Amino acid sequence: SSNGGAPPPPPRRRRVLLFPLPFQGHINPMLHLGDALHARGLAVTVLHTRLNAPDPALRRPEFRFVPVPDGVPRDVAASGDVIAIIGAMNAAMEAEGAAALRAVLLAVLADEAQPPAACIVFDANLLAVPAAAAVVGLRTLVLRTASAACFRCLAAYPMLHQRGYLPPQESKLYMPVEELPPLRVKDLFYSSLSNHDKMRGLLARGIEAVKSSSGLVINTFDALEAAELERISAELNVPMLLAPGPLHKLSKNSRSSTIIAWLDKMPSRSVLYVSFGSLASMDAGEFLEVAWGLANSGHRFLWVVRPDSVRGSSDGPAGLPDGFEAAVDDGRGKVIRWAPQQEVLAHRAVGGFWTHCGWNSTLESIGEGVPMICRPQFADQMMNTRYVVKVWGVGLELEGELERGRIERAVRKLMEGREGEEMRERAVELKEKVADCLKIGGSSQIAIDKLVNYIHSA
């Protein structure tokens, strides 16, 4: 037998339901949380929308996957506008007292082949869940896939409005937000958004959902955001606050790929990994500047260009400029459509990460001791950048217009400069803190213990 004659594992006595928001940066941490809970003996059922349904090939065979109607109209889904998609999804799911979602939950709970469900962990943005779960008698926990600082900032929005920081005014962008150091107005979540009133309403409901649930799980760890976590405990009435991150480090799920063989041939810390996450995009002119900035830097690079990375060319990656390949001599650069990012960042050949500073990417870089060039675009990316540069000192920001000369200088500064070396040293220190929190008795393990105990007691 596959377990070498060992006795069969004890039956799983409790089950946890997970419902992620259907975007990569939200699905990944939720599944990693599921991996951690499954490893502690719980059964896991994942609810998922049709929109961006997890690829069957990549699903965990040991989890159940159950579809939920999302009601997002095709044109909205195709727009790629995340805020509009979330809005449409919530509106449709909340319709008729969240009838469709309630029906799915009832069917899942009635499945006697599975152990009894203790609770549902849902993404903070899925506003239909609390009411539907209450009707079927299911306890709720909220997972926030952004930083503790981000949650604290969102919770402070009424105050930020009251005191005139928001809505953001052009003339005040560099003004420090004294109540939330080290943030400035331009670092606040919705400085990059236009529909402030709608956002304000959504955020207020999101905070209420957290307060009315049994607990809040944030994908961060004590040593990284101790002050922010303490403030959340002190300022908000959250029954149970858990920081079991970085969640990807609790998961053993890893994939190998041909790109790792390419990295194997490269000297240690010589490659700059370049990726702007699963959603951010640039225009064709910026794309050219990035290409030439990387080529002219003289450094090795691995650059992810998704098919929808360049605006206005959704049917395939924009062509690389003439002469680009010749300029990237010795095969020192590689352009790919998608990377096994955690494995890439963990590879000894990678010496830097040019990132948009999505929270997952930020945590993944910190977890491997890789310093960053930050190029934030929207949502929490600006505040993540601020923490990377000012609080943790593990990266530099590439500001202003994307221009090849500036890019080349930033790459050199990170990959060969003294400042870059100091950032790398601090990143390696943070990596050691991550290792500590993952050890038995470390803060992440203690948080998972608490969560497992809670689930068994439910």
> Residues in the site for ligand UDP, rule: CB under 6 A?
23-25, 28, 275, 277-280, 304, 338-339, 341-342, 358-361, 364
Residue 220 tokens, joined:
């961060």
26 given a catalytic annotation: yes
Catalytic site residue from 26, 32, 248, 356: 26
Provide the strand spans (E) within 343-456.
Answer: 350-355, 372-374, 395-397
Give dist(CA 136, CA 134) in Å, integer: 5
* Catalytic annotation, pick one of 35, 70, 123, 187: 123
How far are the Cα atoms of 83, 264, 304, 336 from residue 446, in angstroms, in the given order? Answer: 34, 36, 36, 38
- Which CB sits closer to ligand UDP, 213 or 342? 342
Q: Which helix (H) or strand (E) holds 452?
A: helix 443-457
Q: What is the residue type of 27? A: I
Q: For residues 28 and 251, which CB has a smaller minimum distance to ligand UDP in the complex?
A: 28
Helix (H, G, I), strand (E, B) or coil at 120: strand
Three-class DSSP category at 337:
coil
Residue closer to ligand UDP (CB basis): 111 or 343: 343
Nearer Cβ to ligand UDP, position 14 or 386?
386
Sorted by sequence, the CB contacts under 8 Å of residue 321 that are 6+ apart come out as 288, 291, 292
Partner residues linked to 191 by β-bridges: none
Contacts of 348 (CB under 8 A, 6+ apart): 268, 269
Q: How far apart are CA 141 and CA 217, in angstroms?
A: 7
Which one, 65 or 338, has the nearer CB to ligand UDP?
A: 338
Nearest distance, CB of residue 188 and ligand UDP, angstroms: 17
Smallest distance, Å, CB 359 to ligand UDP?
5
Shortest spacing between CB 402 and ligand UDP, in angstroms: 17
- Residue 362 CB, nearest approach to ligand UDP (Å): 7
- Any idea what DSSP says for residue 146? S
CB of 259 to ligand UDP, least distance (A): 10
Q: Of 165 and 392, which has the nearer Cβ to ligand UDP?
A: 392
Q: How far apart are CA 391 and CA 370, in angstroms?
A: 16
Do residues 175 and 184 make contact, with C-beta atoms less than 8 angstroms apart?
Answer: yes
To ligand UDP, the closest distance from the beta carbon of 3 in angstroms equals 31
H or E stretch including 63?
Answer: none
Residue 123 bears catalytic tag: yes
Which residues are known to be catalytic? 26, 123
